[in-house]
Structure formats: structure tokens, C-alpha cells
Amino acid sequence: MVAAVPPRATGSWLTTVSGGLRRTYHPVSARQARYVRLAVSSPTNVANDSAARIYELQVYGGGSPDLALGRTATGSDSCGTTETPDKAVNGSYNGGNSDKWCSKVSGTKTLTVDLGASHALTSLVVRHAGAGGENPDWNTKDFDLAVSADGANWTTAAQIRGNTADTTTNAVSATGRYVRLSVLTPTRTTDPAARIYELEVYGS
């Protein structure tokens, strides 16, 4: 169960969840709150295991929208006809193995999003293989994020090395119209494919 309450630690339950999966997402009606409570009544589907295990509780409010959502995306040649760059900006990362951009060209693989206009950017979020339900060993290991005003001259906004996380959130301070993800080392294995389920861009 999930509860959101006013600026006091009392309130009513908003959402009840049964038979939870590996990751769950629960939209709630908008309201102001200071506290969020997760109450676990049945911790597992395994008999005699009474431990609740929560790796992350994330709370989202009415912040800035994803500036990359539905925008024009281009990238290195795709692994297949259903794993094209537009899948990385469609607002979904749990639609199955084809709900991603995939590329296994040799060398650096790039994914570029045209935001349509210049924006002051504050955060770049990348959802890797594990976020889409694939082997987390296929999460992008080494990658760069860059921003450009004209699509030709680029400024590096973030450099990530040795990543193991399913989702990476990178705080940035940059202004630009274009955002480019450059995959240097696609996985922690010998698998050569870059798998990006979503590239999200936030700012104003």
C-alpha cells in the first residue's frame, strides 16, 4: 500500500497493490504532501519468508515534463526494424524487448534527440537494458552525454564510466537544442549491442 498525506504524519491510504511485480508504478491523484508511506502487508510470494525487501521508493510530482518525449531521434544503425531511435523517446520502457533503441555497429554508437528549440537543461536520464527487464549485465557501461545548440558543435555534459545501474540520472547545467548519447562500451559482457530503453531530458 502507498499513502501520501498532508504536512502531518496522518492521512488516508491512496493506493492498494496486490501481487506486485519486479517494478511497480502507481499514479495517484495530484495533491500536496510532505510524507509518503509504504506499508508492506505481505512481503513475498514465498512461504515462511517474512522479510520485506525494497530497493528503491521513488516519488514524482508535477515537475518539468520530459523535453525529449516524442521528439525526433536519430542514431546509429539499429539491431532490427523494431528497435529504432524513436523507441528511446516514446515515453515507455516496459513494453517488452523491442521497446528500445538497439545498435551493435562497431565503435561508438550514438543516439541524438532534437528538442525542437533551445532549453536550459538540468537533468538527463538514461534507462538501460535492466530498466526494460533485460539482463542488467547489458546495462550501458561507459557513455557520454553532450549538448549542442546547432547539432554540429557539442559540449560534453556528463561522462559516465563503469555504470552498473538500470537507470542513470545525471544532473547537468547546459543550454541547447540537441542532446547526444554516445555509447563507448555497451555492456559489461562481450555483447556488442547498445540497448537504450529511454533517453529523458529535463529542464525549462
CB 87 within 8 A of CB 98: yes
Q: What is the pLDDT of residue 62?
A: 62
On whether the CB atoms of residues 68 and 179 are closer than 8 A, the answer is yes
CA distance 113 to 105: 19
* Measured CA distances, 41 to 17, 30, 44, 47 (Å): 10, 25, 9, 14
Count of Cβ atoms closer than 10 Å to residue 199 Cβ: 25
- CATH code for the domain defined by 72-203: 2.60.120.260
Q: Answer with the residue of higher pLDDT: 95 or 168.
A: 168
Our CA angle for 122, 137, 76, nearest 5°, is 60
Residue predicted with more confidence, 155 or 23 = 155
In the prediction, which pLDDT does 19 show?
60
**510470494: which residue's cell?**
45
Predicted local confidence at residue 20, as pLDDT:
57
What are the residue ranges of CATH 2.60.120.260 in the chain? 72-203
Confirm if 149 and 77 have CB atoms less than 8 A apart: no
On average, the pLDDT of the chain sits at: 88
Q: What is the pLDDT of residue 31?
A: 63
Residue 53: pLDDT over 70: yes
Identify the residue with better confidence: 155 or 21.
Answer: 155
Q: What's residue 5's pLDDT?
A: 44
Pairing between β-strand 109-127 and β-strand 72-75 as defined by DSSP bridges: antiparallel
Q: pTM here? A: 0.71
Query: Which residue type is seen at 193?
Result: A
Residue count of the chain: 204
Per-residue pLDDT, 9: 45
Give the torsion through C-alpha atoms of 64, 197, 181, 86, to 10 deg: -80
